[in-house]
Structure 1
Amino acid sequence: MDTNTIHFIRLAEADELSFRLHEPISVTIDSLSVILCCTPRNVKFILRRLEEKSFIRWQPGRGRGHTSVLTFIRSIDEALEDSFQELMDKGKIKEAIELVGFSEVNEPLKERLLSSLNKQMGFHSEADTSSGQDVLRMMRARRLEKLDPAYVYTAFESYLLGQICSTLILYDAATQTFLPGLAHMWECSEDHRIWVFYLRKGVRFHHGRVMTSRDVKETLQRLIDLNSPAIWHYRDIERAEVEGDHCIRFYLSRPNLFFLHLFSCIHMSILPYDVDIRTEIIGTGPYRVSDLNEDVLVLSAFDQYYGIRPHLDRVDIWFVPDHGPGERHYELPGVVRMKLPAERCSTNSIDYPALGCRYMVFNFRKPGYQHNHAFREAIRIVYDQVTLIRELGGNRITPASSFLPWKSSQVDWTASPSLEEARELLIRSGYQGETIILGHTVHKDLEEADWLKHRAAEIGLQIELHAFIEYKDDNTVSTADLIMAEEVLEDDWQWGLINFFKNSSNYLHNYLESGQHSRLDCELESFAQLSGEDRAQLLDRVEGILREQYWILYGCHMNKKAQLNQSLFGLHTAAFGFLDISKLWIKPGFQ
């Protein structure tokens, strides 16, 4: 905020002046000097500038000791809005975002400023070079979590890493086959215990060095050294041998028919061995990181990308946490939807019924009624999928009994148990009216959590909502009795499900106790040795355990809907239903 606006607000909020718009107020220079914390001489300079800016009218008193007259001709909201617009006109988006968070900005004004900020997001063609640059700007309602393939779990960060880094091979969901990536060919022994990858030549990292097989070996070793949450999947690998710069061979302790999935997932994004990824994220993907701080992530097209160079030259992602739900912000679809300003009617619409669903999981590592089967069943009835969709609607499209929509569609949803059944189960559990803590994210889960709280109250179940921003760093997660969440699976759904069951960084891992983990481990031990059909049956059986024991309560499947300007072309979905920004382009002059 500029100093003129700060001085104006200080005057307008001063108790001594009793702010009244367009009404003259008698003041003295000495009293204004106290309010503005400056000398009488500087007061006169400040008043002159405020008058030039049309914030006030000033009529100085004649003679020493005589009162002067100050008239406010702008409201505080108008001053803040003008200051915001001036920042936006100068391209100072960071400062404008900071202004939205000032305590002087009330909720109606915040809505207007965010709406104005939305209009600066989206797709632009900038004439700051001879050829011009096509730029996508978007906002996120939370800070970016760490961009590290070894630890990443959240959908948006995984999606970004897919734009920055590359994997040896790619999974094609349409054909359920694998395509060449950084490796142009691969083969395995008859017993599936030796796998060989042949690498493309001339692939460059963003820092300029050519990728070799050593980078592949060190990427795997890094997962091992860091004890990555995803390391369970790679436990069969005994050793990796480099055979020149463009060939690498993996030796396994037992057959692994799931091996290709492990080298197409984001955890095995190939990183350069000579760069510390903790300080600088370097990959071989279509976009490189040109700037990253707590306010913005800037991705620039990588001209030496081994594939097809992106059409968009730059992507700016601004982080605007704690300023309301994601629907307000103009974003890519996914966890948070992209939305054009209401007055823009020329749009394309994309529907992406995402794999995965909304769900709740109980915290079995904390003492409480959640260890009682009847209690969990009672909440299952309260959290009724059909009622949830009917009463809240939105992008909730179908009730879920599985993370997989086609499994949920096999269920007969015509009959729903009554709340009276839930009340009886609650009594049977021995519940005595104690408060149950439900954890939920600050904005995304609030509506659903509040809906559940009120339904629970109808059967005498007292739920207290505790909001959190990031589950890894918030005490709410460990103290909650249950958590409301959403899981969005990769298009490679078998990988997505087994990673959900075995990745040590998610809610399920952190909330189940050792006996429950042992049961799942026993079920899943032979997963990678099975054929695709047998793996699908095994995953279905494990989901059945979660469902029948009420360890997880499935909610509903979501539609990741996006509205996009019609000048935007090359619409392809990438991982998790986000748009593949490497294929987007803007048609010049399109009306």
Structure 2
Amino acid sequence: MEISDVHFMRLAAALQPSERPEEPIRVTIEQLSGLLCCTPRNVKFILRRLEEKALISWKPGRGRGHTSSLAFLRSMEEIQEDTFQELLVQGKIKEAIELIGAPEVSSLLRERLWTELNRQMGFHSEPEASTGQDVLRMMRNRHLERLDPAFVFTAFEAYIIGQVCNTLVSYDAASKGFLPGLAHTWEHSDQYTRWTFYLRKGVRFHHGKTMTADDVKYTLERLFQVDSHALWQYRDIAEVKTKGDYTISFCLSRPNLFFLHLIGSLYMSILPSDVVFSGIPTGTGPFRITNLNKDVLTLTAFDSYYGIRPLLDRVEIWFLPDRASSVRHYELSGPENDELMAWNQYNSSIDYPALGCRYIVFNLRREGVHHRKEIREALRIAYDRVALIRELRGSRYTPADSLLPWISSERQVQERPLKEAEELLRQAGYAGEPIQLAYPPKKEESEEAEWLEKRCHAIGLHLVLYPLHPGRSAEEILHNADLLIGEEVLEDDWEWGMMNFYKNRRNYLHYLFNPAQTELLDRETERIFQLTKPERVSCLLQAEQLARDNFWILHGCHLNKRAKLSQSLLGLHTGSFGFLDISRLWVKV
């Protein structure tokens, strides 16, 4: 923003009449000197500059002490809007966002500017580049967390790592099997105690190094060096052997029929052995990270990608936690589309049921009346899944009795009367003790927490709401909450996802369950790697039943995710966690 525009807005904010903005006002040089925080001599220079830009009309008073006449030829909102448009044209999204948040911007203008910014979130072609650049801008309603494959935790971070890095094999949801990745083929011994992978040749990392078996070995060793919470998957690996640059074998201490799931998980995203990890992964994937700060993540197409190069040249993901919707926006804008559709006018949308569900988990490490099974069952009745859908709807589409929608559909989830909950509280000897519910302060979670609070009040249970604002640690939840609203979204490889839910020590279950409960769950899944698929599924469902029947976990509803799209956005493919695979997107212009 030019300094003269800043001076204009400062004067207009203090002096411009709201009813008749162009009406001249009487001022003195001394008065303007105080507003602009400069000498009278500099005031005259500033006024002359504003006149040259046709922003004001200035008539100086004759003689010392006489007032002068100042008329504003444009409104402050006009200048703010023009400045905002200039910033967008220049691609200065951060400065544009800062302008929106400026205290001088009125609430009505702020909404208009947000709408205009939304229009910029979409496809843009930049013809000034020699070959043209196709750019997709997206908004994210939360800041980015840790982008380290060894510690990946949330769905969005896993999604980004999946665009930047590759694994040896990849799970294919359509065939329910595995496809070659960085390994073009593989084999195992008769007893499943030795797995050998044959690597592709000529695969390059983003910094230029050629990938070899040493990088695969380094990636696994790094998990142990940094004490990754994924180590439970790899403790059966007794030895890793490399034969030349393109063959690697994993020797196991016991049979493992599940090994492809483990080697294809995001934790085994292959990293280069010659780069010290500094928070930004260097991978072999279709996109490389070229910028990352608190405001924006920029992904740029990797021209030397061993697969098919992305058709988009650049993807910018802007973090706007105060404004962005929970709906995923992949809208297009640009000269050809602006007259046809605004940001909020969509050609179509896609809905896709997510694997997993929202749930409530009890903190069994914290003392309290919630250790009584009758009270947990009373909360099960209060947190009724059928009533949730009927009264709140939103993205909730069917009652959950499992993380897996098809398992839930086989069971008859029926609404139970609140009178039963009152009787359970009486049997438990409940005397009004407060029970604290922690929840992330997002729209639907907040709705559910407030809804549950009212239902608990109706049965005489004192539920205290405890919103989890950003920055609150798991230890804080552990010490202050009796129960927690969470959400688990499984990736396409749902077997691995369920296993990770029950065995990953960073998951809420391991933070909140006491050693007795954790030991029981571990016992259910102790030999799961040695089982065939039908046996594994049965084992996972038994672990789920253990937690469900003891009311350690209260399943809520399965959720329907939504993305809003333009008909010009092609190559749509929903990958794990329900995000569109941006490496396949292209735009018909």
- 1:74 Cα deviation after fit: 6.0
The alignment's TM-score, normalised by the length of structure 1, stands at 0.91
Indicate if the aligned counterparts of 1:405 and 1:557 stay in contact, CA closer than 8 A: yes
What letter corresponds to residue 144 of structure 1 in structure 2?
Answer: L
Give the match for residue 335 of structure 1. Answer: none
CA distance in 2, matches of 1:6, 1:549: 64
- 1:488 Cα deviation after fit: 0.8
Task: Please tell me whether residue 202 in structure 1 is matched to residue 202 in structure 2.
Answer: yes
Unaligned 5+ runs, structure 1: 333-339
Instruction: List per-residue Cα deviations over 1:499-544 (Å, max 9, x = no partner).
Output: 1111122222211122211111121111111111111011101111
- 1:386 Cα deviation after fit: 1.3
Instruction: List per-residue Cα deviations over 1:162-218 (Å, max 9, x = no partner).
Output: 111100011111111111111111111111111111111111111111110000001
CA distance in 1, matches of 2:470, 2:504: 21
- 1:260 Cα deviation after fit: 0.7
Task: Summarize the Cα distance change of 1:473–1:407 in structure 2 as closer, same or farther, 3 Å threshold.
Answer: closer
What letter corresponds to residue 204 of structure 1 in structure 2?
Answer: R
Instruction: List per-residue Cα deviations over 1:406-442 (Å, max 9, x = no partner).
Output: 01111223x3112333334344352425362422144
CA distance in 2, matches of 1:54, 1:482: 62
Indicate if the aligned counterparts of 1:326 and 1:444 stay in contact, CA closer than 8 A: no
Task: Summarize the Cα distance change of 1:276–1:478 in structure 2 as closer, same or farther, 3 Å threshold.
Answer: farther
Give the match for residue 335 of structure 2. Answer: none
CA distance in 2, matches of 1:451, 1:54: 56
Indicate if the aligned counterparts of 1:477 and 1:483 stay in contact, CA closer than 8 A: no
Task: Please tell me whether residue 567 in structure 1 is matched to residue 538 in structure 2.
Answer: no
Give the match for residue 336 of structure 2. Answer: none
What letter corresponds to residue 136 of structure 2 in structure 1?
Answer: L
- 1:259 Cα deviation after fit: 0.6
Give the match for residue 237 of structure 1. Answer: 237
User: What's the RMSD between the two structures over aligned residues?
Assistant: 2.6
| More displaced 10-residue stretch of structure 1: 567-576 or 261-270 | 567-576
CA distance in 2, matches of 1:305, 1:549: 49
Instruction: List per-residue Cα deviations over 1:298-330 (Å, max 9, x = no partner).
Output: 111111111111111111111112235434x73
User: Which residues of 2 match residues 292-303 of structure 1 at below 5 A?
Assistant: 292-303=292-303
Indicate if the aligned counterparts of 1:150 and 1:230 stay in contact, CA closer than 8 A: yes
Instruction: List per-residue Cα deviations over 1:351-403 (Å, max 9, x = no partner).
Output: 21110111122222323333222222222222211111122222221111111
Indicate if the aligned counterparts of 1:520 and 1:542 stay in contact, CA closer than 8 A: yes
What letter corresponds to residue 201 of structure 1 in structure 2?
Answer: K
CA distance in 2, matches of 1:587, 1:297: 25
Give the match for residue 98 of structure 2. Answer: 98
| More displaced 10-residue stretch of structure 1: 94-103 or 305-314 | 94-103
Instruction: List per-residue Cα deviations over 1:28-85 (Å, max 9, x = no partner).
Output: 2212222222112222333445556666554433221112344566666555434322
Indicate if the aligned counterparts of 1:442 and 1:469 stay in contact, CA closer than 8 A: no
Task: Summarize the Cα distance change of 1:349–1:322 in structure 2 as closer, same or farther, 3 Å threshold.
Answer: closer
CA distance in 2, matches of 1:512, 1:236: 25
What letter corresponds to residue 162 of structure 2 in structure 1?
Answer: G
What letter corresponds to residue 544 of structure 2 in structure 1?
Answer: E
Give the match for residue 519 of structure 1. Answer: 520
What letter corresponds to residue 574 of structure 2 in structure 1?
Answer: T
**SS class of match (1:360):** strand
Unaligned 5+ runs, structure 2: 332-339
User: Which residues of 2 match residues 155-194 of structure 1 at below 5 A?
Assistant: 155-194=155-194
Identity between Structure 1 and Structure 2 (%): 55
CA distance in 1, matches of 2:101, 2:421: 43
Indicate if the aligned counterparts of 1:439 and 1:477 stay in contact, CA closer than 8 A: no
Indicate if the aligned counterparts of 1:141 and 1:324 stay in contact, CA closer than 8 A: yes
- 1:455 Cα deviation after fit: 3.1
Task: Please tell me whether residue 310 in structure 1 is matched to residue 313 in structure 2.
Answer: no
- 1:266 Cα deviation after fit: 0.5
Give the match for residue 417 of structure 1. Answer: 416
What letter corresponds to residue 81 of structure 1 in structure 2?
Answer: E
What letter corresponds to residue 573 of structure 1 in structure 2?
Answer: T
Indicate if the aligned counterparts of 1:195 and 1:249 stay in contact, CA closer than 8 A: yes
CA distance in 1, matches of 2:476, 2:498: 27
**SS class of match (1:294):** coil
Task: Summarize the Cα distance change of 1:465–1:279 in structure 2 as closer, same or farther, 3 Å threshold.
Answer: closer
What letter corresponds to residue 141 of structure 2 in structure 1?
Answer: A
- 1:471 Cα deviation after fit: 5.5
CA distance in 1, matches of 2:500, 2:314: 32
CA distance in 2, matches of 1:555, 1:73: 59
Give the match for residue 211 of structure 2. Answer: 211
CA distance in 2, matches of 1:85, 1:247: 55
